[in-house]
Amino acid sequence: MKSNKHNLRFAFMLATFSGLGPFTFDMYLPSFPQMVKFFGTTASTIQISLTACLLGLALGQITMGALSDVHGRRKPLIIAMIIYCLSSLGCAIAPNIGIFIALRFIQGFAVSAGTISSAIARDTHSGTELTKFFSLISVMSSVAPLLAPLAGSAVISFTKWQGVFYLLGMLGFILSITTIWRLKESLPVEKRIRSNVGDMFGNFKTLLGNRVYMGYVLAQGFMLGGVFAYVAGTPFVYQKIYGVSPQVFAMLFALNGIVLITASQIVRKLAGRIPEHRILHFGLGLSFVATITVLVVVLTHGPLFALVIPLVCYVAAMGTIGPVSFTLAMESQGHIAGSASALLGVIPFLLGCVSSPLVGIAGEYSAVPLSLILLSASLLSIASYTFLTFMRRVKVQSTEMV
């Protein structure tokens, strides 16, 4: 019992770090229309602030993951949380959209340290236990997408959009203190790699050349790239096209958190009973059906509920694919878990940087770009897994049988 309680506390701590990212991205979404007026700019420009944050996170994950393999997990996390706190407060007092976008880049770079929590999980667990533990973290961290838009909507109901970033700064301060006083180092000195830039980049080169690993990475990456397009596009699709209020939008967006929690919990229960590959196949199939449905609803101008249901199913597919693709990708990356975890995180955010601005390419009153991006993300995810990982596994198994 004591071990289970400790595992729960440890999982909650790691989930808090990984959940900070969704808060950083999602909490200010209900404020988008308000920010357009405040800065006197366009919807696409406001969406660039999300892109800047994603780009900062993508570049930050490469840096943080490599540094955590060299210097341990704790020190980079402490420095990143302090920077996050300061940049969040800076966003709240930004005098113009240019400075705001620059600070969002820094904020995204700092929050990228949350990926170190995945490396910590890999340091302390392996195999099926890693799948179960990571699913537990996913269940807990999935509360962040559930609470973030609701919290953001609540904040702007009694104050201006700046209040969102003051609150994020407070969260950053609390996590800085938590890291200093509560988090123990999980990577012993003897297991760290040399502090050599060439070696660090060599690790990434090795990982990029690993077809099986990259198949899992891209399968998850394209799906998450679609999720970021969904995050950037739905504030305008729901509020401009369907005319819902910020409060109703927050409730609709909160469904994502509920679905992610449910999907991750189901994966956690099935791990060890059903092979992870079968769970992954189901998630990929569900994403394809969901995105085809979204496209049909958009082209036929279907009602709101007909759009919400397949979008929620797409999120459920992501909740299924995420934990198992992470486990399967990380299971043989031991000593370079930080770099492997970073690459596993950076690719989705790079794809998100591309997909997020595209959802507004046809204006605030068209959902066609969003539906096409989601379908493309699903197809590319299936193709990546099939040609890089699945066919390779089948070939290896056939060779072993001979």
Contact 175, 20 (CB under 8 A): yes
- Domain assignment present for residue 322? The answer is yes
Q: What does the pLDDT look like over 305-362, one tens digit per residue? A: 999 999 999 999 988 888 888 888 877 665 676 677 777 777 876 777 677 778 877 7
How far apart are alpha carbons 323 and 311 in whole angstroms?
Answer: 20
**What's the pLDDT at 1?**
38
Is 11 domain-assigned? yes
- Residue bearing tokens 């988090």: 183
Domain presence at residue 204? yes
Domain that holds residue 115: 2-185+195-401
How far apart CA 295 and CA 374 sit, in angstroms, is 9
How many CB atoms are located within 10 Å of the residue 394 CB?
Answer: 10
- The Cα–Cα gap between 36 and 161 comes to 11
Counting DSSP H helices and E strands in the chain, the numbers are 17, 0
Helix %, strand %, coil % for the chain, to 5? 85, 0, 15
| Tokens 């990456």 -> residue | 221
Residue 47 has what pLDDT? 80
Which phi and psi (to 5°) does residue 178 adopt? -60, -45
**Residue corresponding to tokens 């341990």:** 72
Stretches where the chain sits below pLDDT 70 are 1-7, 126-127, 131, 135, 138-143, 145-146, 193-200, 332-335, 337-338, 349, 353, 363, 393-402
CA 265 to each of CA 43, 253, 261, 317, 327: distance values in angstroms, whole numbers, following the listed order:
36, 19, 6, 13, 15
- Asked whether 163 and 156 are in contact (CB, 8 A), the reply is yes
| pTM over 0.75, yes/no | no
In a domain, 8, yes or no: yes
Strand partners, 274: 271
Q: In this structure, are residues 145 and 251 in contact, taking their beta carbons and an 8 Å threshold?
A: no
Query: CA-to-CA distance for 91 and 220, rounded, in angstroms?
Result: 30
- Report d(CA 256, CA 283) in Å as an integer: 16
The CATH number of whichever domain residue 163 belongs to comes to: 1.20.1250.20
Three-class secondary structure of residue 249 per DSSP: helix
Number of domains within the chain = 1
In a domain, residue 190? The reply is no
Residue found by looking up tokens 């995810």 in the block: 381
CB of 237 within 8 A of CB of 230? no
